[in-house]
Structure 1
Amino acid sequence: MNVLFIEDDRMNRRVVRDMLDVAGVTMVEAESAEDGLGIIDEQDFDILLVDLRMPGMDGITAIGHIRARGDAKGRTPIIVVTADTAVDLRERCLAAGADDVIFKPVAMDILFDAMGRVLASREDGMIG
């Protein structure tokens, strides 16, 4: 499995990388939404993990760009990984095209549960 994590904080990327390494999942890192969009152009991913609050382009805008693609990459499952606790956050993320939302600090069981849900939904034909 190949995952892209778009996250500006190096420590957050490292924590998630360590969790994914345990399961043998390959993780590519992007320090900004702009970098992430460029990486998506070059590589295929099974899941995208996207932070919301980053310098430059925010995660909601990045999700919009991904979903606006006219190809299979635009249908890649997206899990928002955020510390934001706004009341309507989940609804805003789902409306933007995210498939799930998890909160920082990321717990391994919650991350893997979310990944399993979005992949199972893809296999059931519910996503994309």
Structure 2
Amino acid sequence: MNVLFIEDDRMNRRVVRDMLDVAGASMTEAENAEAGLAALEAQDFAMLLIDLRMPGMDGITAIEHIRARPDAKGSVPIIVITADTALDLRERCMAAGADEVLFKPVAMDALFEAMGRILARDADGGMLV
């Protein structure tokens, strides 16, 4: 499984890469939303992980751009990984089209559980049997 992680902090990218290595997943890195959108254009990903606060375009705007795509890439699962603790953050992320929101520092088991739940859903949003 190839995952795209859009995150401006190099150390955070390294920590998540190490976690995904444990699961046997590969990770493509993008240091900002613009680079992430370009990577998504050039390649297919099983899932996106995205930070919210980055220089330039923020994560919510990037999610809205992705969800506006008319092709299959517009429905790629998205997990937000953020340190932002605003009270309405989860609702704003979900309204933009995120599938899950995790808070930093993210634990490996929480990341894997969220990824597993999302990947187990069918196209209608139900659980696969």
TM-score range, shorter chain: over 0.9
Describe the shift of the 1:124–1:38 C-alpha distance in structure 2 as closer, same or farther (beyond 3 A): closer
TM-score, reference length from structure 2: 0.95
RMSD: 1.0
Amino acid aligned to 2:63: I
- Indicate yes or no: 2:56 matched with 1:42: no
Within 2, Cα distance between the matches of 1:124 and 1:45? 16
Within 2, Cα distance between the matches of 1:43 and 1:61? 20
| Superimposed CA distance per residue, residues 101-124 of structure 1 (whole angstroms, 9 cap, x where no aligned partner) | 001001000000110111112x36
What is the CA distance between 1:126 and its match in structure 2?
Answer: 1.0
Within 1, Cα distance between the matches of 2:76 and 2:90? 18
1:115 aligns to what SS in structure 2? helix
Q: Which residue of 2 aligns with 1:23?
A: 23
Q: How does 1:1-128 map to 2 (within 5 A)?
A: 1-121=1-121, 123=122, 125-126=124-125
TM-score, reference length from structure 1: 0.96
Amino acid aligned to 1:46: A
2:79 aligns to what SS in structure 1? strand
1:3 aligns to what SS in structure 2? strand
Within 2, Cα distance between the matches of 1:100 and 1:48? 11
Sequence identity percentage:
75
Alignment gaps of 5+ in structure 1: none
